[in-house]
């Protein structure tokens, strides 16, 4: 597998000069905003925002909208990526969900959190939430509650591996035209 380096450069840019991506689908609740302000106050910037250069020379964000919004007057580190609009949309859609797929080693996390201290209430609340035991799922051996069984209707599906996106699109259109209920997926 050949992997391309899409990072053109690291720039320091006033956060308020970065253009928010109009397709940014992430929303940030107050609890997250408060925790971010706390981390920035205690640690500062320790990660770069991601952006692509537009034809007019401006930078459009792909990742880091909340950080830019939180510190508009601060000069922030930005990795300028060599992505076109389609590639930027793909990264915008997948960047956070891909990171969220990581699982926690609870023992290592517990040891790490025991060494983390903060005086910020929002950060402490986040740390406390991380320390709490996850809620048991229905069917777990410790689940003493009675749950009604849910009937899941039978579903017959076919997953077809295509050579590329154009072949996927052509197959999708053909099957949809034949009356099949179809969805496009990329795994």
* Domain-located, residue 166: no
Total domains in the fold of the chain: 1
* Domain-located, residue 173: no
Cα-atom radius of gyration of the chain, to the nearest Å?
A: 22
* Domain-located, residue 162: no
* Domain-located, residue 28: yes
* Domain-located, residue 45: yes
**Residue carrying structure tokens 């253009």:** 19
Q: Which residue, among 67, 55, 56, 53, has the nearest Cα to 14 in the 3D structure?
A: 67
* Domain-located, residue 91: yes
Q: Going edge to edge, which strands form the sheet with 49-53? A: 7-14, 75-81, 49-53, 59-63
Alpha helices in the chain (DSSP H): 30-42, 65-70, 85-100, 106-114, 121-131, 165-177
Please give the helix or strand (H or E) that residue 63 lies within, else none. strand 59-63
* Domain-located, residue 139: no
Q: What is the CATH number of the domain that holds 29?
A: 3.90.1530
- Apex CA 110: angle with CA 107 and CA 112, to 5°? 110
User: pLDDT by residue for the chain (187 residues), tens digit each?
Assistant: 999 999 999 999 999 999 999 999 999 999 999 999 999 999 999 999 999 999 999 999 999 999 999 999 999 999 999 999 999 999 999 999 999 999 989 999 999 999 999 999 999 999 988 887 666 656 555 545 556 677 777 777 777 888 877 788 788 778 878 877 877 766 6
Q: Name the pairing type of β-strands 49-53 and 7-14.
A: unpaired
* Domain-located, residue 141: no
Residues 6 or more apart whose Cβ sits within 8 Å of residue 68: 15, 16, 18, 20, 49, 61, 76
pTM for the model stands at: 0.69
CA distances from 79 to 43, 44, 74, 109 (A): 20, 17, 16, 29
Q: Which residue, among 33, 36, 52, 54, has the nearest Cα to 44 in the 3D structure?
A: 36
Question: 47: domain range?
Answer: 7-102+112-129
């Amino acid at each position: 597998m050949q992997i391309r380096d899409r990072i053109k450069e690291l720039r320091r840019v006033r956060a308020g000069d970065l253009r928010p991506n109009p397709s940014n689908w992430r929303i940030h609740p107050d609890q997250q905003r408060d925790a971010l302000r706390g981390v920035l106050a205690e640690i500062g910037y320790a990660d770069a925002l991601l952006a692509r250069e537009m034809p007019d020379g401006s930078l459009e964000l792909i990742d880091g909208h909340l950080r830019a919004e939180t510190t508009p007057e601060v000069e922030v580190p930005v990795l300028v990526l060599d992505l076109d609009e389609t590639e930027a949309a793909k990264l915008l859609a997948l960047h956070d969900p891909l990171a969220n797929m990581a699982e926690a080693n609870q023992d290592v996390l517990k040891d790490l959190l025991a060494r983390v201290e903060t005086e910020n209430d929002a950060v402490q609340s986040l740390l406390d939430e991380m320390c709490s035991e996850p809620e048991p799922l229905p069917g777990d051996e410790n689940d003493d509650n009675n749950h009604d069984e849910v009937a899941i209707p039978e579903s017959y599906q076919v997953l077809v591996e295509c050579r590329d996106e154009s072949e996927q699109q052509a197959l999708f259109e053909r099957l949809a035209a034949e009356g099949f209920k179809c969805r496009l997926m990329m795994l």
